[in-house]
Amino acid sequence: MGYRKIFLIGIILFTISSNTVPSWPHPHVFVDSTVTIVFDEKGIAGFEIRWAFDEMFSSMIILDFDTNGNSRFESSEVENVKSDAFSNLRKFDYFTHIKINGTPFKVKYVTDFSAKIIDGTLVYRFFIPCHIQAAEIFREVAVSIYDHTFYSSVFLAENPVTYRNRKFYDIEYRIEKNTDEAYYYGQVYPDTITLRFKRKNG
């Protein structure tokens, strides 16, 4: 994808132009992410995250876990993917960093994990419960998805934000680089989705 190539070229140019070469490892896994914001009758119920992985990582996981070679994960294989290639991410908040009106929300667990093979691409889906009650005035929630170790490089996919059950709420959002949460020696700025929502009048 174009933005990924531009990003990597930027890292290379920074390294070449520096007086000293930093000893950072480059990312080994590339992820395109989307976020579905799920509402209920009280407000936000949580966030459904979808990750689509790069060709190399997809091939590795498919080779290791599609044990019958039928190009789909059976329920038992999904459980193996979850236990061996996903659950460890709880140590890293599942790469999902949330703030509610500026206050950090700790991602302690996720639900509804699934792993699928779609045209040779490994796709994870999971749900992060995060209950935020709506009010008559706007409340704000910010979501950034990144791996602070930079072993995995997470990009927002095209059209990265969708909604479910939104009809009772006024919603607006923006996406911008978050310079307050720079990571990996201060050289990488995550994309942050900032959502404002409130109950519709009447």
Closest CA to 75 of 110, 114, 49: 114
Provide the domain limits for residue 74.
27-199
The Cα–Cα gap between 121 and 57 comes to: 9
In a domain, 18, yes or no: no
Which residues, 6+ apart, have CB-to-CB distance to 60 below 8 Å?
A: none
Please give the backbone phi and psi of residue 154, each rounded to the nearest 5 degrees, phi first.
-105, 125
Using one digit for the tens of pLDDT, what is the confidence trace for 103-125?
999 999 999 999 999 999 999 99
pLDDT (mean) for 57-70? 96
pLDDT (mean) for 40-55? 97
The band of 191, judged by pLDDT with boundaries at 50, 70 and 90, is: very high
Per-residue pLDDT, 202: 64
Instruction: Identify whether the C-beta of residue 200 lies closer than 8 Å to the C-beta of residue 169.
Output: yes
In a domain, 160, yes or no: yes
pLDDT for 81 beyond 80: yes
In a domain, 46, yes or no: yes
pLDDT for 21 beyond 90: no
Which residues, 6+ apart, have CB-to-CB distance to 79 below 8 Å?
A: none
pLDDT for 23 beyond 50: no
pLDDT (mean) for 65-88? 96
In a domain, 6, yes or no: no
Which residues, 6+ apart, have CB-to-CB distance to 167 below 8 Å?
A: none
CATH code (residue 116): 2.70.170
Per-residue pLDDT, 137: 96
In a domain, 16, yes or no: no
pTM of the model: 0.85
Per-residue pLDDT, 45: 98
Number of structural domains, the chain? 1
In a domain, 140, yes or no: yes
